[in-house]
Structure 1
């Protein structure tokens, strides 16, 4: 968890949620009934030599359950003291103006945990950069990850960043 905290959004404008300077993790959640996530084309085309996995979570709102604040507390219990300030700073920046709304939103944690899947980016439907016409940029689209094979454990264990998953 500490390694992940140090790799989490070094800059607010980072393309990937976690980046240790070599490998990347992009986390996507959806409340839709299908495993459909929104990506920028850049998020599915890492630089050569980098590993990239997509973490997918299907969320269900619940009258009772856990809020993002409950999750933050659970993370704080698992990390070193020096990383708690960074966690709280990034947490506040990530929520921004939705901070108060997040206090009133609860999710079915067990359902989300059961739905958690990790995919190698190369398995995710994406637009090939070689087919983009010249002058096209800032391309975003939805990709359906339903039925895609999950990343293999041996692949994940080869990368320091992925060991935290």
Structure 2
């Protein structure tokens, strides 16, 4: 569903009433509205009047079981008991993030809009708005392009979303059981990547693969924005959608920014898989008192995984889904 047309209509109306609202098609008991200060609100019909405290931050507010008079048109209004989630920010990008997240949640047919689930949604939004862009977001954008490109071309976004680790503190991008995959990308002609020693000197029982991408910048290539938009369509209405939004926030991708563009054909041609045990590295663990060791490894002459090995590893991460 798209809320932009409804918001455009509501914005054209004079704020004569405390709350103007529109019913959301195919979402019974839920309305999208604006308050007198043009803050975007979602109203969810309360099935029963249960007391729960309101919560307010500088950017968000949630209220439960309150009586509202919602003006739907000049001759139609609705009075009732509703829960509400409101975006207090007037920043255009933050409002768009708020409405995208709510759109995804309301599109999840398995989601029951209870006080508990709305509280969970609220705090997920609070945590999302706390994210600060990476200081080196140009490098992080390249990394996100590589991850999304890999997901799209190896079974689809939905296949990988559950195993995707978007937190910058995680050692690998994808994991399931004792299997790990990390995506490395470079725009250099040499297949040289930065590694943490922790990545290369890991638990012996783990099966770890490094996927190396040599990227070619291209003004008419695939943009990061385009990959994000495709991922939004695929992950909308799933429990994994917020992982995508977190990644977008961390690389400071706003609605008008195309982000980096790379040649897809070259990226596909230059994708290579490696067992972590074959990658040049220090052969011993970090000595006592030493941590966070990082270095570059040249994979040019490193033996590559066979197609059979790659297929077996991909199968262990689940079946192919729509991209």
How high is the TM-score relative to the length of structure 1?
Answer: 0.82
- Residues 58, 66 of structure 1: alpha-carbon distance in 2 compared, 3 angstrom cutoff: same
Question: Paired residue for 2:276?
Answer: 121
Q: Deviations over 1:122-144 (max 9, x none)?
A: 111011224x4332211000000
More contact order relative to length (CA 8 Å, sep ≥ 6): 1
Correspondence for 1:137 among 275, 287, 291: 291
Whole-angstrom CA distance in 2 between matches of 1:3 and 1:55: 17
Whole-angstrom CA distance in 1 between matches of 2:162 and 2:237: 12
1:112 positional shift? 1.2
Q: How many residues align?
A: 161
Root-mean-square deviation (Å): 2.6
Whether 1:110 aligns to 2:110 is no
Contact kept in structure 1, 2:232 and 2:244, CA below 8 Å: no
Give the secondary structure class of the aligned counterpart of 2:219.
Answer: strand
Whole-angstrom CA distance in 1 between matches of 2:311 and 2:231: 21
Structure 1: which 5+ runs fail to align? none
Please say which of residues 46-55 and 147-156 is displaced more in the overlay.
147-156
How high is the TM-score relative to the length of structure 2?
Answer: 0.44
- Residues 7, 104 of structure 1: alpha-carbon distance in 2 compared, 3 angstrom cutoff: closer
1:75 positional shift? 4.4
- Residues 81, 43 of structure 1: alpha-carbon distance in 2 compared, 3 angstrom cutoff: same
Whole-angstrom CA distance in 1 between matches of 2:224 and 2:195: 22
Q: Deviations over 1:68-122 (max 9, x none)?
A: 1222344456668416624532431442x3x259624211111111101111111
What are the within-5 Å matches in structure 2 for residues 17-56 of structure 1?
A: 17-56=173-212
Higher helix content, 1 or 2: 1
Contact kept in structure 2, 1:125 and 1:145, CA below 8 Å: yes
1:21 positional shift? 3.6
What are the within-5 Å matches in structure 2 for residues 53-72 of structure 1?
A: 53-72=209-228
Question: Paired residue for 1:88?
Answer: 244
Whole-angstrom CA distance in 2 between matches of 1:163 and 1:128: 35
Whole-angstrom CA distance in 2 between matches of 1:107 and 1:17: 20
Structure 2: which 5+ runs fail to align? 1-155
